[in-house]
Amino acid sequence: MSNLVIVESPAKAKTIQKYLGPGFKVVASMGHVRDLYPSTLSVDVKNNFAPKYTIIQGKRPIVKELKDLASKSEKIYLATDPDREGEAISWHLANLLKIKPENELRVRFNEINEQSVKKGIAQPTKIDVNLVNAQQARRILDRLVGYSLSPFISQKIRRGLSAGRVQSVAVRLIVDREEEINAFVPEEYWSISAKLTAPPARKVFKAAFVGDETGKVKIGSKEQADEYLKRLDGANFSVADVKKGVRRRHPAPPFITSTLQQEASKRFGFSAQKTMKLAQELYEGVEIKGIGVTGIITYMRTDSLRISDQARNEGINYIRQTYGEKYIPEKPRFYKSKAGAQDGHEAIRPTASNLTPDRVKDALSNDQYKLYTLIWKRFIASLMADCQQDTVKVDIKAANESDAAKNRFCLFSMSGYSIRFDGFTVLYDDAAEDEEADEIIPAVSKGDILKLKELNSEQHFTQPPARYTEASLIKMLEETGVGRPSTYATILYTIVNRGYVVKENKSLKPTELGIATTKLLKEWFPKIVNTKFTAGMESKLDDVEAGLFDYIEMLHGFYGEFEETLSKAKENLVGVKIQLEEDKTDIICDKCGRNMVIKVGRFGKFLACPGYPECKNTKPYVQKTSAKCPKCGGDVIAKRSKNGYPFYGCSNYPECNFMTWDQPIDAKCPQCGESLFKARGGIIKCHKEGCGYEQKAERKRKSKNKPEEADE
């Protein structure tokens, strides 16, 4: 009989099987196998919020296989991911397999390599009930909010909407930022710059106006700028002061979940979801030539900056051998995690410092390689010596003879730096893309006379706050304590997928639906969309995980007030319906003359008269494309099959029976002039009978002047 090891994914199973050998059978549960019943609340509110679990649809064959294997195994190990969700999966598996949770069968790996896997198997522990309770509490909270609020906002705004405990706060942040942008009033200001040389040198440098004899000055109009230009007519420029110094730049700490998602978004344009998918693959294992299948990063859901002594020593040895002793700091560098961070896992780092990006490149996809290089460089750089910079700041006085006699002058300034010792930046510079290049400062001394080459003034306007990007929203969620590292990617995916937010380039913009939903929740459920309240709930969940707070008590404390608020909202908003502008159409009801609106029913969108119940007229919702029917010349419209798959047909159906799975494109056939369609495999074709035009679509060429855009 062999020992059974249950993990979550096939990739992880394959890697661990290699390390454990023939005495073990490693299988995957394919994630969660049991959850709350999907079609009902499934929480017995009157019985201390007892959850009602069922096997997830489609997972019964997997559960049956696991039970069969368990009955034939000598010992069972539950080796799911080392976090709340992983602990809950192990707990559910123990229940289904009739294993007592107090048995020592739980195995945890922070990194999947041979040493860690064998050590974990040799030292199994009990399932952490506190972790399970924290996961159950979060799941029940989310179900209570979702199953109560979703029908309410669906009734008031649009059928089929959903509201989430944390996603609603994220949408509110984006909506609030949009309101700030719309309310922003730009302020005018002007800048004055002088292009100068320091004879006998001919190199031109630029200094900026900062003030006059009264101190710093902000120029608010063209008239004020012209006054200073007039004062500077015929002025002499001289060096008033030169300040030199040395500054030290410290490397950034190794990545945690949030900072990895932010940096991958900024550098590569990766979505948070894509970053986590790639990181999961790197954690679970890749096939490396000469080594075999191995995990090359530590667990990727963490908010701790701790690293093991062994990893630190390996990293320092690599630095010593590659860069030399001077690149090692005098004292080892330790980073402090933020308050409330869970210290169960290390920071995200390579499992072995000598697994350089070049060494594993052939084993990785292009995107995996990008992410691994980022993680590896950030970790090694975090152990390296500071970058030392020589700084210089030059103050310049400008005045004509008349003003100089009255001690009136204009003050200009310029600053820059040069590298004394590159330190960690020889490998990784996290500020390189954010900093503008500093002016090259000439060798000047106090009292030197400078020569003016050009004097310019320029108008500017203050800018509104920027819309959130995925990176900046994750940063805000982290700073406000909303959500946790493992939830950020899901939050971002959900609010875009459900239509509350759209992506414009990299920016997140609220839709009319997102704005209307947020307004409704702010008015009637202010706590649900309050960052401090939501962060407080997250802190309580952390206390449950630490065994400091009873999760049943927490649920009672939340639900009583929430239920009362919901009852008041329902009572006060009887008969109220919020009509979105985006749901209105220019299609006239042929029975009463009103403009029809788009509704969502069980079978998708349809047109309905807003005069219901006086007028009950409805029509199918037709989504036109730019194409014309190759048979009769009618409009080609988008449709859906019974199984929900998109296809295209003629608007004159049933008189015309043209249909195709190929997607219409905004182009005409060069042979017959009819509309073109794009088929699978990138084939562009014409459907006009007898034409036969067909061509492989051209791939977009990469511009030499424009950086390649990352795939989402």
**Phi, psi dihedral angles at 39 (to 5 degrees):** -95, -5
With b meaning 16 or more CB within 10 Å and e meaning fewer, what string describes 585-615? eeeebeeeeeebbbbeeeeeeebbbbeeeeb
Six token digits for residue 199: 């004879």
Distance separating alpha carbons of residues 500 and 424, to the nearest angstrom: 42
Among the listed residues 261, 163, 140, 166, the one whose alpha carbon sits nearest the alpha carbon of residue 535 = 166
What whole-number distance in Å separates Cα of residue 61 and Cα of residue 511? 41
- The DSSP-derived string for 453-517 is EEEEEEEEE--PPPPPBHHHHHHHHHHHT-S-TTTHHHHHHHHHHTTSEEEETTEEEE-HHHHHH
Alpha carbon distance 513, 509 (integer Å): 11
**What distance in Å separates the CA atoms of residue 710 and residue 712, rounded to the nearest whole number?**
6
- The reply to whether 299 belongs to the active site is yes
CB atoms within 10 A of CB 525: 22
- Cross-strand partners of 460: 189
Q: End-to-end alpha-carbon separation of the chain, Å?
A: 46
Q: Give the residue carrying structure tokens 């896992």.
A: 345
Pair of tokens at residue 295:
């995990």
**How many CB atoms are located within 10 Å of the residue 529 CB?**
25
Distance of CA 44 to the CA centre of its chain: 35
DSSP state of 414: E
Per the residue annotation, which of 19, 77, 228, 299 is the catalytic one? 299
DSSP string, 62-114: HHHHHHHHHHT-S-EEE---SSHHHHHHHHHHHHHTT--TTSS-B---SS-SH
Question: Mind telling me the catalytic residues?
Answer: 299
